[in-house]
């Protein structure tokens, strides 16, 4: 009986991961690659592609152009600039926004931008997600629900369980929930409010399972081992936020964006 060494196991794991990454890239929908490569995307967003791997991540989640997709809390629209044009010809795209953002605030600016770019982004349907607002789509209608780096916010607001339950309700049987989040340290107990912006991967899996989901995949495409997760102003110390301003900016820029996990869950048939 041959007992594998730690080195051989590591090599085998690396080879498997590389094979998966290659296969994922090869299987990417050309229309998705075109949407990401569009010259009409903001330069500030394109600059983040090396850290966020949009083609690989959306391919991992299994997106297709005819899907009914719901994106939760799209923020500044990094993913909206990709998902809108990609889904416009034959899909259905909904964004679930926070129920309020202050008159003249970020939500109003975001709405104005997507309205001004409707020819490029297509028809985007809007619903709300937040305290007292959890109908993100008609029950059993969505093929894919996506959330990128939002779970810590819902934990801070005390609505994480309700938000994940809303995802479960909105999805068709067999539908997919894709979660990207800043990965917390395994040697530190999870703060239920996630005040530093980091969420343990096992904690996230437990929350999703509590809502009824089954974990069907994980990806390390957005992993960053340089992120030690002990920054003075939490995850926002790192780019793109640079919460410390010019203080140690070069140091944080060299570290890059946070270590992020990518998880794929399914609503059972």
pLDDT in tens, 187-237: 999 999 999 999 999 999 999 999 999 999 999 999 999 999 999 999 999
Give the pLDDT confidence score for residue 104 in this predicted structure.
54
pTM of the entire structure?
Answer: 0.90
Q: Which residues on adjacent β-strands are paired with residue 215?
A: 265
Asked if residues 200 and 170 have their Cβ atoms less than 8 Å apart, the reply is no
Give the pLDDT confidence score for residue 5 in this predicted structure.
46
Exposed/middle/buried for residue 233 (C-beta within 10 Å: 0-12, 13-18, 19+): middle
Identify the CA nearest to 71 among candidates 165, 142, 169.
142
What is the block-wise mean pLDDT of the chain (269 residues), using blocks of 10 residues?
43 40 63 98 97 98 98 96 98 95 74 95 97 97 98 98 98 98 98 98 98 98 98 98 98 98 98
Phi then psi dihedrals of residue 233, to 5 deg: -120, 40
Asked if residues 176 and 61 have their Cβ atoms less than 8 Å apart, the reply is yes
Rg of the chain's alpha carbons, rounded to an integer? 19
pLDDT in tens, 37-63: 999 999 999 999 999 999 999 999 999
Asked if residues 60 and 264 have their Cβ atoms less than 8 Å apart, the reply is yes
Strands (E), 149-207: 171-182
Q: Cα–Cα distance between 128 and 132 in angstroms, integer?
A: 9
Give the pLDDT confidence score for residue 106 in this predicted structure.
86
Give the pLDDT confidence score for residue 27 in this predicted structure.
87
Identify the CA nearest to 179 among candidates 224, 210, 146.
146
Which residues, 6+ apart, have CB-to-CB distance to 15 below 8 Å?
A: none
């Amino acid at each position: 009986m041959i007992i594998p060494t730690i080195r051989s196991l590591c090599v085998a794991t690396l080879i498997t991961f590389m094979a998966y990454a290659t296969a994922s890239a090869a299987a990417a929908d050309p229309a998705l690659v075109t949407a990401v490569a569009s010259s009409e995307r903001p330069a500030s967003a394109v600059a983040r592609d090396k850290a966020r791997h949009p083609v690989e991540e959306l391919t991992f989640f299994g997106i297709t152009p005819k899907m009914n997709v719901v994106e939760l809390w799209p923020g500044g629209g990094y993913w909206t600039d990709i998902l809108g044009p990609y889904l416009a010809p034959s899909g259905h795209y909904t964004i679930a926004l926070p129920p309020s953002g202050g008159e003249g605030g970020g939500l109003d600016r975001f709405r104005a931008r997507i309205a001004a770019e409707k020819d490029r982004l297509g028809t985007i349907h809007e619903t709300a997600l937040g305290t007292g607002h959890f109908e993100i789509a008609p029950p059993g209608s969505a093929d894919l629900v996506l959330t990128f780096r939002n779970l810590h916010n819902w934990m801070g607001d005390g609505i994480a369980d309700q938000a994940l339950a809303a995802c479960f309700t909105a999805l068709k049987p067999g539908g997919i929930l894709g979660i990207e989040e800043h990965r917390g340290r395994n040697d530190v107990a999870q703060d239920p409010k996630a005040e530093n912006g980091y969420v343990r991967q096992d904690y996230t899996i437990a929350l999703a399972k509590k809502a009824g989901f089954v974990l069907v995949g994980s990806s390390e495409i957005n992993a960053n081992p340089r992120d030690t997760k002990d920054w003075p102003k939490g995850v926002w110390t790192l780019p793109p936020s640079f919460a410390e301003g010019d203080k140690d900016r070069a140091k944080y820029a060299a570290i890059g964006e946070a270590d992020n996990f990518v998880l794929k869950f399914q609503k059972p048939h």
